[in-house]
A and B are shown apart, each in its own frame.
Chain A
Amino acid sequence: MDNSLKTTCLHDLHVELGAKMSPFAGFDMPIQYSGIIDEHNAVRHAVGVFDVSHMGEIFISGPDAESFVNHIFTNDVRGMAPGSILYGMMLYPDGGTVDDLLVYKEKEDRHFLLVVNASNIEKDYTWMLEQAEGFDVRIDNRSAEWGQIAVQGPEAEKAVCEVLGLPEAAPLGFYTFCDCVRDGKRVIVSRTGYTGEDGFEIYASPEQTQAYWRALMAAGVKPCGLGCRDTLRFEAGLPLYGDELTADISPVMAGLGMFCKLDKPGFIGREALVAQKAEGVARKLVGIELADKAVPRHGYPVELEDGTEVGVVTTGYHSISLEKSICFALVDSAHAALGTPLRIRIRKNTFPGVVVKKRFYQTNYKK
């Protein structure tokens, strides 16, 4: 292992399980244990657990916490009920994306938890500090102190309640969370995930996270790596920062306008989004389904029938749950309508496809 890589509190347990490890976002992370297909199917049909301790936890508090979060975040946090969660983005003034994240409204007045992508923790934290001038807020990057596991799948509730002894999870609705105390320490249980299935993300101390992981292994819950995390989120139509959202891809281009509340008081990037909505964007993110089994991959060109290049694949797989080759692609808006025939260049050949909805897989969230 490259010594410059960081490790999560579960690293040694992954190695013990014989996981295939690989660098991701500066961490030495498990890509797969039993195999991507096996792990993917466990989450779709039963339950699986992921180590997502690499994700970032940044706490915001202070008299101006709400107005500050609303200033840097595209969704509207005004009047959020304690225990509720919102998804949205932080943007640059030109509408490009700094990161996509979850905002948790804590029980205490004027306290928020922002959960950010591992690859962006330092960038996001610096960005927040830079934007905080004039706001009376405290910004606390506690990423290294929190472990996090994601228990996902139709049997996730049973596993969290019974195996982990967290019955507080059962009544939670989708995108809500609760605080529990175990061994005198805070445990956050949230009904969220990145798989398209029902499930929970559980934030706890490193020691507690290790105990939870061991308990789930003993109960036969399938350990799942980042390999199937990507295939699952992709099928569910969920973007990955770096592929579908970047400093050059705005939420409007990515089809995530519903998470940007243009009618709330100004937030960074709002004017750019208003202009993009009014004038249209040059490229849009679409789904493409291929007729063939060849696999479109990140970076492969998207072409018209006559060979004109009109876009690029951002993520693609031979879908495990749908058993067909599908991808997300950023294509010129003129060719982004549903039903448009497009071709994808895969090595020496091009393969015919058609623009389809990005949510390839019917998600099964708890209502």
Chain B
Amino acid sequence: MSKIEEGLLYKESHEWVKVDGNVAIIGVSDFAQSEMGDITYVDMPDIDDEIAAGDDFGALESVKTSSELVAPVSGKVIARNDELEDKPELINEDAYAAWIIKVEMSDKSELDALLNAAAYAEIAK
């Protein structure tokens, strides 16, 4: 049974968002890391890249598969978790601590399209 953290918003494609004012902190869910197995590489966008909700902004690679990361919101990348470059396994260890990017949102109303923990729990099983 995978862990679903309360208080976060989720996208059907298994990304999570933690809202901090106008900033969206984005990662992937415990369900996603468990489905993928050992994560070996995180393909991340650069700082200042613009990402658009629904588009790929990077990818996770595990030994066996790769999985695209889909942006839950639109905006500008203001930070990325460079620790994942050398330690992608941090996502396996704690998917909610190992954030991937932080985005300055251009349209906070996009958050309304995301799922709360209870709704996401219906998908992540």
Q: How far is the CA of A34 from the CA of B59 in the complex (A)?
A: 24
B 52-92 to A, binary, CB cutoff 8 A, 1 in contact else 0: 00001001011111101000000000000000000000000
Chain A nearest CB: distance from B113 CB in Å? 25
- Set B37, B56, B59: member contacting A36, Cβ < 8 A: B37
Whether B43 lies near A231 (C-beta < 8 A) is no
Smallest Cβ distance from B24 to chain A, in angstroms? 22
Task: Give the chain A neighbours of B56 by CB distance below 8 A.
Answer: 347
Residues from chain A with a CB closer than 8 A to the CB of B62 are 36
Q: Looking at the assembled complex, report how far the CB atom of B14 sits from the nearest CB atom of chain A, in whole angstroms.
A: 17
Smallest CB-CB separation from A318: which chain B residue?
A: B40
Cα–Cα distance between A294 and B61 once the two chains are bound (Å): 8
Q: With CB as the reference atom, state the residue of chain A lying closest to B89.
A: A37
Contacts of A36 in B (CB 8 A): 37-38, 62-64
Question: Are A32 and B37 closer than 8 Å at their CB atoms?
Answer: yes
Using known A-B contacts A294-B41, A294-B43, A295-B40, determine if residue A317 contacts B59 with beta carbons closer than 8 Å.
no
Contacts of B37 in A (CB 8 A): 20, 32, 35-36, 227
* C-alpha spacing A318/B65, complex, angstroms: 11
Q: With a CB–CB cut-off of 8 A, which chain B residues contact A35?
A: 37-38
Within the complex, which residue of B38, B40, B66, B68 is in contact with A297, where a contact is CB–CB below 8 Å?
B66
A320 on interface, CB distance cutoff 8 Å = yes
A31 touches B64 (CB 8 A): yes
Q: How far is the CB of B124 from chain A (nearest CB, A)?
A: 16
> In the bound complex, do residue A318 and residue B63 qualify as a contact, i.e. CB atoms below 8 Å apart?
yes
Q: Hey, which chain A residues are within 8 Å of B63, CB to CB?
A: 36-37, 40, 227, 231, 317-318, 320
Hey, which chain A residues are within 8 Å of B64, CB to CB?
31, 36, 227, 230
- By a CB distance below 8 angstroms, the chain A residues around B40 are 293, 295, 318
Contacts A36-B63, A295-B66, A318-B61 given; does A347 touch B43 at CB 8 Å: yes
In the complex, the chain A residue whose C-beta lies closest to that of B68 is A347
0 or 1 for each of A286-315: is its CB under 8 Å from B? (1 = yes): 000000011101000000000000000000
B33–chain A nearest beta-carbon distance, Å: 12
User: Which size bracket describes the interface of A in this complex?
Assistant: 10 to 19
Nearest residue (CB) in A for B40 is A318
Q: Which of A32, A37, A293 contacts B41 (CB 8 A)?
A: A293
Residues of chain A contacted by B43 (CB below 8 angstroms): 294, 347
B16-48 interface bits toward A, Cβ cutoff 8 Å, 1 = contact, 0 = none:
000000000000000000000110110100000
CB distance from A318 to the nearest CB of B (A): 5
Q: Which residues from chain B contact A32 at a C-beta distance below 8 Å?
A: 37
Residues of B with C-beta under 8 A to A295: 40-41, 61, 66
Minimum CB–CB distance from B111 to chain A (whole Å) comes to: 26
Q: In the complex where A36-B64, A295-B66, A297-B66 touch, is A347 in contact with B38 (Cβ < 8 A)?
A: no
Give the distance to chain B from A330, nearest Cβ to Cβ, in Å: 20
Q: Are B38 and A37 closer than 8 Å at their CB atoms?
A: yes
Shortest Cβ distance from residue B42 to the other chain A in the assembled complex, whole angstroms = 9
Hey, which chain B residues are within 8 Å of A231, CB to CB? 63
- Give complex CA distance A293, B44 in Å: 12
List of A residues within 8 angstroms of B59 by Cβ:
347
Residues of B contacting A37 with CB < 8 Å? 38, 63
Give B38's nearest chain A residue, CB to CB.
Answer: A37
Q: Can you name 6 extra interface pairs (CB under 8 A) apart from A36-B62, A37-B38, A318-B41?
A: A227-B63, A293-B40, A294-B61, A297-B66, A318-B61, A347-B59
Residues of A within 8 A of B (CB): 20, 31-32, 35-37, 40, 227, 230-231, 293-295, 297, 317-318, 320, 347
18 contacting pairs across A/B (C-beta < 8 A): A20-B37, A32-B37, A35-B37, A36-B37, A37-B63, A227-B63, A227-B64, A230-B64, A293-B40, A294-B41, A294-B43, A295-B61, A295-B66, A297-B65, A317-B63, A318-B63, A347-B43, A347-B56
